[in-house]
Amino acid sequence: MANPSRRPLVAGNWKMNGLRASLAEVVAIKAGIAGAGCDVAICPPATLLREAAAEAAGSGLLIGAQDCHAAASGANTGDISAEMVADAGCRLIIIGHSERRADHGETNEIVRQKAEAVWRAGLLAVLCIGETESQRRGGETMAVLARQILESVPEKATSANLVVAYEPVWAIGTGLTPSEDDIAAAHAHIRARLAERIGTVAAATSILYGGSVKPSNAASILSLADVDGALVGGASLKAADFLGIVAASS
Ligand code: PEP
Protein backbone atom coordinates (compact mmCIF):
# COMPACT_ATOMS: atom_id res chain seq x y z
CA MET A 1 0.00 0.00 0.00
CA ALA A 2 0.87 3.43 -0.56
CA ASN A 3 1.50 6.57 1.36
CA PRO A 4 -0.55 6.64 4.60
CA SER A 5 -1.74 10.16 3.71
CA ARG A 6 -3.79 8.58 0.92
CA ARG A 7 -6.76 6.68 2.32
CA PRO A 8 -7.47 3.76 -0.02
CA LEU A 9 -10.68 3.63 -2.07
CA VAL A 10 -12.32 0.47 -3.37
CA ALA A 11 -14.99 1.38 -5.91
CA GLY A 12 -17.37 -0.96 -7.73
CA ASN A 13 -18.57 -0.26 -11.27
CA TRP A 14 -21.74 -2.21 -11.99
CA LYS A 15 -21.79 -1.08 -15.65
CA MET A 16 -25.13 -1.96 -17.35
CA ASN A 17 -26.05 -4.50 -14.69
CA GLY A 18 -28.60 -4.34 -11.92
CA LEU A 19 -32.34 -4.11 -11.41
CA ARG A 20 -34.05 -2.94 -8.24
CA ALA A 21 -33.55 -6.39 -6.71
CA SER A 22 -29.81 -5.68 -6.84
CA LEU A 23 -30.25 -3.03 -4.16
CA ALA A 24 -30.01 -6.00 -1.77
CA GLU A 25 -26.31 -6.09 -2.67
CA VAL A 26 -26.00 -2.42 -1.68
CA VAL A 27 -27.63 -3.24 1.65
CA ALA A 28 -25.22 -6.14 2.20
CA ILE A 29 -22.18 -4.06 1.22
CA LYS A 30 -23.26 -1.26 3.54
CA ALA A 31 -23.54 -3.75 6.39
CA GLY A 32 -20.20 -5.38 5.56
CA ILE A 33 -17.97 -2.32 5.49
CA ALA A 34 -18.28 -1.23 9.10
CA GLY A 35 -14.74 -0.70 10.31
CA ALA A 36 -13.21 -1.05 6.84
CA GLY A 37 -9.78 0.50 6.47
CA CYS A 38 -10.67 2.10 3.16
CA ASP A 39 -13.35 4.21 1.56
CA VAL A 40 -15.91 2.17 -0.36
CA ALA A 41 -18.08 3.19 -3.30
CA ILE A 42 -20.59 1.53 -5.61
CA CYS A 43 -21.50 2.96 -9.02
CA PRO A 44 -24.77 1.34 -10.10
CA PRO A 45 -26.63 2.14 -13.33
CA ALA A 46 -28.39 5.51 -13.47
CA THR A 47 -31.79 3.95 -12.78
CA LEU A 48 -30.66 2.87 -9.31
CA LEU A 49 -28.67 5.92 -8.23
CA ARG A 50 -31.34 7.60 -6.18
CA GLU A 51 -32.48 4.51 -4.32
CA ALA A 52 -28.91 3.31 -3.75
CA ALA A 53 -27.92 6.73 -2.41
CA ALA A 54 -30.93 6.76 -0.07
CA GLU A 55 -30.01 3.29 1.14
CA ALA A 56 -26.39 4.32 1.75
CA ALA A 57 -27.19 7.65 3.37
CA GLY A 58 -25.53 8.05 6.75
CA SER A 59 -23.27 5.05 6.24
CA GLY A 60 -19.67 4.94 5.02
CA LEU A 61 -20.77 3.70 1.60
CA LEU A 62 -20.48 6.23 -1.22
CA ILE A 63 -22.70 5.99 -4.29
CA GLY A 64 -21.56 7.28 -7.66
CA ALA A 65 -22.49 7.37 -11.33
CA GLN A 66 -20.61 5.77 -14.21
CA ASP A 67 -20.59 8.81 -16.50
CA CYS A 68 -22.08 12.26 -16.97
CA HIS A 69 -22.50 14.83 -19.73
CA ALA A 70 -20.23 17.88 -19.61
CA ALA A 71 -23.18 20.31 -19.72
CA ALA A 72 -25.40 21.07 -16.74
CA SER A 73 -28.62 20.76 -18.76
CA GLY A 74 -29.83 20.96 -22.34
CA ALA A 75 -30.91 19.11 -25.45
CA ASN A 76 -28.86 15.97 -24.87
CA THR A 77 -31.30 13.08 -25.15
CA GLY A 78 -30.37 10.13 -22.99
CA ASP A 79 -27.60 11.87 -21.08
CA ILE A 80 -27.46 12.85 -17.42
CA SER A 81 -25.57 15.80 -15.98
CA ALA A 82 -23.26 15.90 -12.97
CA GLU A 83 -25.81 18.16 -11.27
CA MET A 84 -28.47 15.46 -11.70
CA VAL A 85 -26.12 12.89 -10.21
CA ALA A 86 -25.46 15.17 -7.22
CA ASP A 87 -29.21 15.80 -6.88
CA ALA A 88 -29.74 12.05 -6.63
CA GLY A 89 -27.52 12.02 -3.54
CA CYS A 90 -24.33 10.73 -5.14
CA ARG A 91 -20.77 11.67 -4.20
CA LEU A 92 -18.65 10.70 -7.20
CA ILE A 93 -18.69 10.04 -10.93
CA ILE A 94 -16.50 7.74 -13.02
CA ILE A 95 -15.36 9.47 -16.21
CA GLY A 96 -13.26 8.34 -19.15
CA HIS A 97 -13.90 4.62 -18.68
CA SER A 98 -12.45 2.71 -21.64
CA GLU A 99 -15.92 1.44 -22.56
CA ARG A 100 -17.10 5.05 -22.87
CA ARG A 101 -13.98 5.96 -24.85
CA ALA A 102 -14.41 2.96 -27.19
CA ASP A 103 -18.22 2.77 -27.50
CA HIS A 104 -19.01 6.49 -27.48
CA GLY A 105 -15.90 8.02 -29.04
CA GLU A 106 -14.92 9.93 -25.92
CA THR A 107 -11.63 11.76 -26.40
CA ASN A 108 -9.25 13.06 -23.75
CA GLU A 109 -10.68 16.53 -24.38
CA ILE A 110 -14.23 15.33 -23.68
CA VAL A 111 -13.03 13.57 -20.53
CA ARG A 112 -11.36 16.80 -19.39
CA GLN A 113 -14.65 18.69 -19.87
CA LYS A 114 -16.45 16.00 -17.88
CA ALA A 115 -13.96 16.38 -15.02
CA GLU A 116 -14.79 20.09 -14.93
CA ALA A 117 -18.49 19.22 -14.88
CA VAL A 118 -18.05 16.79 -11.99
CA TRP A 119 -16.31 19.51 -9.96
CA ARG A 120 -18.92 22.11 -10.93
CA ALA A 121 -21.43 19.80 -9.20
CA GLY A 122 -19.19 19.44 -6.15
CA LEU A 123 -18.42 15.75 -6.70
CA LEU A 124 -15.30 13.57 -6.85
CA ALA A 125 -14.07 12.56 -10.32
CA VAL A 126 -12.72 9.04 -10.76
CA LEU A 127 -10.87 9.51 -14.04
CA CYS A 128 -9.91 6.35 -15.94
CA ILE A 129 -6.86 5.97 -18.15
CA GLY A 130 -5.15 2.94 -19.63
CA GLU A 131 -3.57 1.45 -22.70
CA THR A 132 -5.09 -0.97 -25.19
CA GLU A 133 -3.56 -4.34 -25.93
CA SER A 134 -2.07 -3.16 -29.22
CA GLN A 135 -0.59 -0.09 -27.55
CA ARG A 136 1.02 -2.32 -24.93
CA ARG A 137 2.37 -4.68 -27.59
CA GLY A 138 3.76 -1.66 -29.43
CA GLY A 139 5.63 -0.46 -26.34
CA GLU A 140 3.47 2.66 -26.13
CA THR A 141 2.00 2.18 -22.64
CA MET A 142 3.93 4.91 -20.84
CA ALA A 143 3.48 7.42 -23.68
CA VAL A 144 -0.27 6.72 -23.83
CA LEU A 145 -0.66 7.23 -20.08
CA ALA A 146 1.36 10.45 -20.20
CA ARG A 147 -0.80 11.82 -23.01
CA GLN A 148 -4.06 10.84 -21.26
CA ILE A 149 -2.95 12.67 -18.10
CA LEU A 150 -1.75 15.74 -19.96
CA GLU A 151 -4.91 16.03 -22.05
CA SER A 152 -7.67 14.81 -19.73
CA VAL A 153 -6.66 16.00 -16.23
CA PRO A 154 -7.53 19.69 -15.71
CA GLU A 155 -4.78 21.72 -14.08
CA LYS A 156 -7.01 22.62 -11.14
CA ALA A 157 -7.24 18.99 -10.02
CA THR A 158 -6.53 18.38 -6.35
CA SER A 159 -6.26 15.32 -4.16
CA ALA A 160 -9.74 16.18 -2.84
CA ASN A 161 -11.53 16.31 -6.19
CA LEU A 162 -9.67 13.72 -8.29
CA VAL A 163 -8.89 10.02 -8.14
CA VAL A 164 -7.11 8.48 -11.12
CA ALA A 165 -7.89 4.87 -12.07
CA TYR A 166 -5.27 3.01 -14.10
CA GLU A 167 -7.17 0.40 -16.08
CA PRO A 168 -5.27 -1.44 -18.81
CA VAL A 169 -8.03 -1.97 -21.38
CA TRP A 170 -6.90 -5.52 -22.11
CA ALA A 171 -7.24 -6.44 -18.42
CA ILE A 172 -10.86 -5.30 -18.07
CA GLY A 173 -13.25 -8.22 -17.80
CA THR A 174 -10.71 -10.67 -19.22
CA GLY A 175 -9.28 -12.30 -16.13
CA LEU A 176 -5.85 -11.05 -17.24
CA THR A 177 -3.77 -8.71 -15.11
CA PRO A 178 -0.38 -7.07 -15.67
CA SER A 179 2.53 -8.39 -13.61
CA GLU A 180 2.97 -6.72 -10.23
CA ASP A 181 6.13 -5.05 -11.54
CA ASP A 182 4.20 -3.65 -14.50
CA ILE A 183 1.41 -2.32 -12.27
CA ALA A 184 3.93 -0.70 -9.92
CA ALA A 185 5.83 0.85 -12.84
CA ALA A 186 2.66 2.22 -14.42
CA HIS A 187 1.46 3.73 -11.14
CA ALA A 188 4.85 5.37 -10.45
CA HIS A 189 4.82 6.77 -13.98
CA ILE A 190 1.26 8.08 -13.57
CA ARG A 191 2.16 9.78 -10.29
CA ALA A 192 5.23 11.41 -11.84
CA ARG A 193 3.26 12.67 -14.87
CA LEU A 194 0.49 13.85 -12.54
CA ALA A 195 3.06 15.84 -10.56
CA GLU A 196 4.17 17.56 -13.77
CA ARG A 197 0.53 18.40 -14.49
CA ILE A 198 -0.81 19.44 -11.07
CA GLY A 199 2.27 19.85 -8.87
CA THR A 200 2.91 18.60 -5.37
CA VAL A 201 -0.73 17.62 -4.73
CA ALA A 202 -0.04 14.59 -6.94
CA ALA A 203 1.69 12.99 -3.96
CA ALA A 204 -1.61 13.02 -2.06
CA THR A 205 -3.80 12.00 -5.01
CA SER A 206 -5.08 8.43 -5.04
CA ILE A 207 -4.34 6.19 -8.01
CA LEU A 208 -6.52 3.06 -8.22
CA TYR A 209 -5.76 -0.06 -10.19
CA GLY A 210 -8.60 -1.61 -12.22
CA GLY A 211 -8.77 -4.68 -14.41
CA SER A 212 -9.86 -8.16 -13.27
CA VAL A 213 -9.40 -7.46 -9.56
CA LYS A 214 -10.97 -10.24 -7.47
CA PRO A 215 -10.70 -11.42 -3.87
CA SER A 216 -7.86 -13.82 -4.72
CA ASN A 217 -5.53 -11.22 -6.28
CA ALA A 218 -6.61 -8.09 -4.42
CA ALA A 219 -4.21 -8.29 -1.47
CA SER A 220 -1.09 -8.55 -3.62
CA ILE A 221 -2.18 -5.80 -6.02
CA LEU A 222 -3.31 -3.46 -3.26
CA SER A 223 -0.03 -3.90 -1.39
CA LEU A 224 1.99 -2.41 -4.26
CA ALA A 225 3.62 0.99 -3.94
CA ASP A 226 1.52 3.79 -5.40
CA VAL A 227 -1.60 1.59 -5.62
CA ASP A 228 -4.21 3.35 -3.49
CA GLY A 229 -7.19 1.08 -4.04
CA ALA A 230 -9.12 -0.61 -6.81
CA LEU A 231 -11.81 0.02 -9.38
CA VAL A 232 -13.71 -3.24 -9.67
CA GLY A 233 -16.16 -4.33 -12.36
CA GLY A 234 -17.41 -7.92 -12.39
CA ALA A 235 -16.39 -8.73 -8.82
CA SER A 236 -18.42 -5.79 -7.47
CA LEU A 237 -21.77 -7.25 -8.50
CA LYS A 238 -21.96 -9.67 -5.59
CA ALA A 239 -21.49 -8.30 -2.08
CA ALA A 240 -19.49 -11.32 -0.92
CA ASP A 241 -16.86 -10.93 -3.67
CA PHE A 242 -16.70 -7.17 -3.33
CA LEU A 243 -16.37 -7.34 0.45
CA GLY A 244 -13.50 -9.81 -0.01
CA ILE A 245 -11.66 -7.11 -1.97
CA VAL A 246 -12.51 -4.44 0.60
CA ALA A 247 -11.12 -6.70 3.33
CA ALA A 248 -7.90 -7.18 1.35
CA SER A 249 -7.29 -3.45 1.26
CA SER A 250 -7.39 -3.04 5.02
C1 PEP B 1 -13.94 -1.94 -15.00
O2 PEP B 1 -14.72 -2.07 -15.91
O3 PEP B 1 -13.70 -0.82 -14.54
C4 PEP B 1 -13.27 -3.13 -14.50
C5 PEP B 1 -12.18 -2.97 -13.80
O6 PEP B 1 -13.84 -4.34 -14.81
P7 PEP B 1 -13.36 -5.79 -14.28
O8 PEP B 1 -13.04 -5.67 -12.82
O9 PEP B 1 -14.52 -6.68 -14.55
O10 PEP B 1 -12.15 -6.16 -15.08
pLDDT single digits (tens) 13-34: 999 999 999 999 999 999 999 9
Instruction: Answer yes or no: is the C-beta of 167 below 6 A from any ligand 1 atom.
Output: yes
**Residues tagged active-site:** 97, 167
Q: CB neighbours of 10 closer than 8 A, spacing ≥ 6?
A: 38, 39, 40, 41, 229, 230, 232, 242, 245, 246, 249
Ligand 1 atom index nearest CA of 99: 2
Specify the DSSP element, H or E, that contains 65: strand 61-65
For every one of its 250 residues, what pLDDT tens digit does the chain have, with 9 covering 90 and above?
A: 557 779 899 999 999 999 999 999 999 999 999 989 999 999 999 999 999 999 999 999 999 999 999 999 999 999 999 999 999 999 999 999 999 999 999 999 999 999 999 999 999 999 999 999 999 999 999 999 999 999 999 999 999 999 999 999 999 999 999 999 999 999 999 999 999 999 999 999 999 999 999 999 999 999 999 999 999 999 999 999 999 999 999 7
Q: Which of 241, 237, 189, 235 lies closest to 211 in space, CA to CA? A: 235
Instruction: Answer yes or no: is the C-beta of 210 below 6 A from any ligand 1 atom.
Output: yes
Mutating to test ligand 1, I would choose from 128, 213, 222, 227 the residue with most ligand atoms within 8 A of its C-beta, which is 213
Predicted structure pTM score: 0.97
Ligand 1 atom index nearest CA of 213: 8
